[in-house]
Amino acid sequence: MRRAVCPGSFDPVTNGHLDIIARASRLYDVVHVAVMINKSKQGLFGVDERIALIEEVTADLDNVVVESFHGLLVDFCKQRDIPAIVKGLRAVSDFDYELQMAQMNIGLSGVETLFVPTNPAYSFLSSSLVKEVAQWGGDISHLVPGPVLEALNSRLRQR
Ligand code: PNS
Protein backbone atom coordinates (compact mmCIF):
# COMPACT_ATOMS: atom_id res chain seq x y z
CA MET A 1 0.00 0.00 0.00
CA ARG A 2 1.46 3.35 -0.98
CA ARG A 3 0.42 5.89 1.64
CA ALA A 4 0.75 9.68 1.84
CA VAL A 5 -0.42 12.40 4.19
CA CYS A 6 -1.90 15.82 3.40
CA PRO A 7 -1.43 17.80 6.63
CA GLY A 8 -2.81 21.18 7.62
CA SER A 9 -4.94 23.23 9.97
CA PHE A 10 -7.95 23.16 7.62
CA ASP A 11 -9.81 25.93 9.49
CA PRO A 12 -11.77 25.47 7.25
CA VAL A 13 -10.94 23.27 4.24
CA THR A 14 -10.98 25.27 0.97
CA ASN A 15 -11.25 24.33 -2.70
CA GLY A 16 -7.45 24.70 -2.85
CA HIS A 17 -6.98 22.02 -0.16
CA LEU A 18 -9.57 19.82 -1.81
CA ASP A 19 -7.79 20.04 -5.16
CA ILE A 20 -4.51 18.85 -3.58
CA ILE A 21 -6.24 16.05 -1.63
CA ALA A 22 -8.04 14.82 -4.77
CA ARG A 23 -4.84 14.87 -6.82
CA ALA A 24 -2.94 13.01 -4.07
CA SER A 25 -5.75 10.43 -3.93
CA ARG A 26 -5.10 9.63 -7.60
CA LEU A 27 -1.38 9.10 -6.94
CA TYR A 28 -1.49 7.02 -3.75
CA ASP A 29 -3.44 4.00 -2.53
CA VAL A 30 -4.39 5.71 0.72
CA VAL A 31 -4.28 9.42 1.55
CA HIS A 32 -4.45 10.43 5.22
CA VAL A 33 -5.71 13.97 5.74
CA ALA A 34 -4.17 15.05 9.06
CA VAL A 35 -5.83 17.92 10.90
CA MET A 36 -2.89 19.01 13.05
CA ILE A 37 -3.91 20.38 16.45
CA ASN A 38 -2.22 23.61 17.49
CA LYS A 39 -3.35 24.43 21.01
CA SER A 40 -1.91 27.96 20.83
CA LYS A 41 -4.14 28.83 17.85
CA GLN A 42 -7.83 29.37 18.55
CA GLY A 43 -9.64 28.28 15.39
CA LEU A 44 -13.01 29.39 14.05
CA PHE A 45 -13.98 25.71 13.89
CA GLY A 46 -13.20 23.02 16.44
CA VAL A 47 -11.10 20.05 15.33
CA ASP A 48 -14.12 17.72 15.21
CA GLU A 49 -16.01 20.23 13.04
CA ARG A 50 -13.05 20.52 10.67
CA ILE A 51 -12.86 16.74 10.40
CA ALA A 52 -16.61 16.43 9.74
CA LEU A 53 -16.41 19.05 6.96
CA ILE A 54 -13.41 17.38 5.30
CA GLU A 55 -15.13 13.97 5.52
CA GLU A 56 -18.25 15.41 3.90
CA VAL A 57 -16.43 17.08 1.01
CA THR A 58 -14.15 14.09 0.35
CA ALA A 59 -16.96 11.50 0.60
CA ASP A 60 -16.55 10.68 -3.10
CA LEU A 61 -12.85 9.82 -2.63
CA ASP A 62 -12.80 6.22 -1.38
CA ASN A 63 -9.14 6.15 -0.39
CA VAL A 64 -9.12 9.27 1.83
CA VAL A 65 -9.01 8.92 5.62
CA VAL A 66 -9.41 11.99 7.85
CA GLU A 67 -7.80 12.13 11.29
CA SER A 68 -6.59 14.66 13.83
CA PHE A 69 -3.20 14.61 15.52
CA HIS A 70 -1.53 16.47 18.37
CA GLY A 71 2.23 16.27 17.97
CA LEU A 72 4.88 16.17 15.30
CA LEU A 73 3.78 15.35 11.77
CA VAL A 74 6.67 12.87 11.47
CA ASP A 75 5.29 10.94 14.47
CA PHE A 76 1.87 10.77 12.78
CA CYS A 77 3.69 9.34 9.75
CA LYS A 78 5.79 6.89 11.79
CA GLN A 79 2.74 5.49 13.60
CA ARG A 80 0.98 4.80 10.29
CA ASP A 81 3.97 3.80 8.16
CA ILE A 82 3.51 6.82 5.84
CA PRO A 83 6.66 7.64 3.83
CA ALA A 84 5.47 10.81 2.05
CA ILE A 85 3.95 14.21 2.84
CA VAL A 86 2.09 15.91 -0.03
CA LYS A 87 1.87 19.71 0.10
CA GLY A 88 0.48 22.28 -2.33
CA LEU A 89 2.76 25.16 -3.32
CA ARG A 90 0.73 28.27 -4.16
CA ALA A 91 3.53 30.65 -5.01
CA VAL A 92 7.24 31.26 -4.54
CA SER A 93 6.36 32.96 -1.23
CA ASP A 94 5.29 29.56 0.17
CA PHE A 95 8.57 27.96 -0.79
CA ASP A 96 10.96 29.21 1.91
CA TYR A 97 8.91 27.98 4.85
CA GLU A 98 7.80 24.79 3.11
CA LEU A 99 11.42 23.97 2.25
CA GLN A 100 12.45 24.47 5.88
CA MET A 101 9.69 22.13 7.08
CA ALA A 102 10.49 19.54 4.39
CA GLN A 103 14.18 19.56 5.34
CA MET A 104 13.38 19.36 9.05
CA ASN A 105 10.98 16.46 8.48
CA ILE A 106 13.36 14.41 6.35
CA GLY A 107 16.18 15.11 8.83
CA LEU A 108 14.02 14.00 11.78
CA SER A 109 12.70 10.80 10.30
CA GLY A 110 13.40 10.27 6.61
CA VAL A 111 9.84 11.19 5.58
CA GLU A 112 9.88 12.75 2.11
CA THR A 113 7.86 15.84 1.12
CA LEU A 114 6.38 16.10 -2.38
CA PHE A 115 5.25 19.50 -3.61
CA VAL A 116 2.31 19.78 -5.98
CA PRO A 117 1.79 23.08 -7.81
CA THR A 118 -1.53 24.57 -6.76
CA ASN A 119 -4.17 25.03 -9.44
CA PRO A 120 -3.64 28.68 -10.56
CA ALA A 121 -7.33 29.32 -9.85
CA TYR A 122 -6.49 28.90 -6.15
CA SER A 123 -2.99 30.35 -5.97
CA PHE A 124 -4.13 33.28 -3.77
CA LEU A 125 -6.42 31.19 -1.60
CA SER A 126 -5.99 30.55 2.12
CA SER A 127 -8.34 29.65 4.98
CA SER A 128 -7.46 32.94 6.72
CA LEU A 129 -8.38 35.06 3.68
CA VAL A 130 -11.60 33.13 3.15
CA LYS A 131 -12.60 33.79 6.78
CA GLU A 132 -11.75 37.47 6.53
CA VAL A 133 -13.68 37.99 3.29
CA ALA A 134 -16.68 36.00 4.60
CA GLN A 135 -16.69 38.01 7.82
CA TRP A 136 -17.24 41.21 5.83
CA GLY A 137 -19.91 39.69 3.62
CA GLY A 138 -17.75 39.08 0.53
CA ASP A 139 -18.65 36.30 -1.90
CA ILE A 140 -16.53 33.19 -1.29
CA SER A 141 -18.91 30.70 -2.88
CA HIS A 142 -16.39 29.86 -5.64
CA LEU A 143 -13.57 29.31 -3.12
CA VAL A 144 -15.00 26.75 -0.69
CA PRO A 145 -17.19 23.66 -1.07
CA GLY A 146 -20.95 24.14 -0.40
CA PRO A 147 -21.00 22.57 3.09
CA VAL A 148 -18.10 24.79 4.16
CA LEU A 149 -19.88 27.89 2.85
CA GLU A 150 -22.95 26.99 4.91
CA ALA A 151 -20.89 26.24 8.02
CA LEU A 152 -18.98 29.52 7.67
CA ASN A 153 -22.10 31.61 7.21
CA SER A 154 -23.81 29.95 10.14
CA ARG A 155 -20.74 30.33 12.43
CA LEU A 156 -20.26 33.97 11.48
CA ARG A 157 -23.96 34.73 12.08
CA GLN A 158 -23.56 33.40 15.65
CA ARG A 159 -20.82 35.94 16.39
O1 PNS B 1 -2.44 24.62 7.20
P2 PNS B 1 -1.17 25.05 7.86
O3 PNS B 1 -1.45 25.73 9.19
O4 PNS B 1 -0.28 25.87 6.96
O5 PNS B 1 -0.36 23.69 8.17
C6 PNS B 1 0.89 23.69 8.84
C7 PNS B 1 1.16 22.30 9.43
C8 PNS B 1 0.04 21.94 10.40
C9 PNS B 1 1.23 21.28 8.33
C10 PNS B 1 2.53 22.35 10.18
O11 PNS B 1 2.52 23.39 11.10
C12 PNS B 1 2.82 21.04 10.90
O13 PNS B 1 3.25 20.09 10.29
N14 PNS B 1 2.55 21.02 12.23
C15 PNS B 1 2.67 19.83 13.06
C16 PNS B 1 3.78 19.99 14.08
C17 PNS B 1 5.13 19.72 13.44
O18 PNS B 1 5.41 18.63 12.97
N19 PNS B 1 5.99 20.77 13.42
C20 PNS B 1 7.29 20.72 12.81
C21 PNS B 1 7.23 21.03 11.32
S22 PNS B 1 8.80 20.87 10.57
Per-residue HEC secondary structure of 98-113 comes to HHHHHHHHHHHHCCEE
Which band of pLDDT confidence, cut at 50, 70 and 90, is reported for residue 60? very high
Q: How many domains is the chain built from?
A: 1
- CATH number for position 18: 3.40.50.620
Decide: helix, strand or coil at residue 114.
strand
Average pLDDT of the residues in 102-113: 98
**Residue pair 88/103 in contact by the 8 Å Cβ criterion:** no
**pLDDT tens digits, residue range 35-58?**
999 999 989 999 999 999 999 999
Please give the model's pTM, rounded to 2 decimal places: 0.97
Pick the atom of ligand 1 nearest to 72's CA: 18
Q: Which range marks the domain in which residue 119 is found? A: 3-158
Q: Say whether pLDDT at 159 is over 90.
A: no
Of the residues 50, 87, 90, 131, only one is catalytic, namely 90
Pick the atom of ligand 1 nearest to 102's CA: 22
The percentage of the chain sitting over the pLDDT mark of 70, rounded to a whole number, equals: 100
Cross-sheet strand order for the sheet of 64-69: 64-69, 30-36, 3-8, 84-89, 112-117
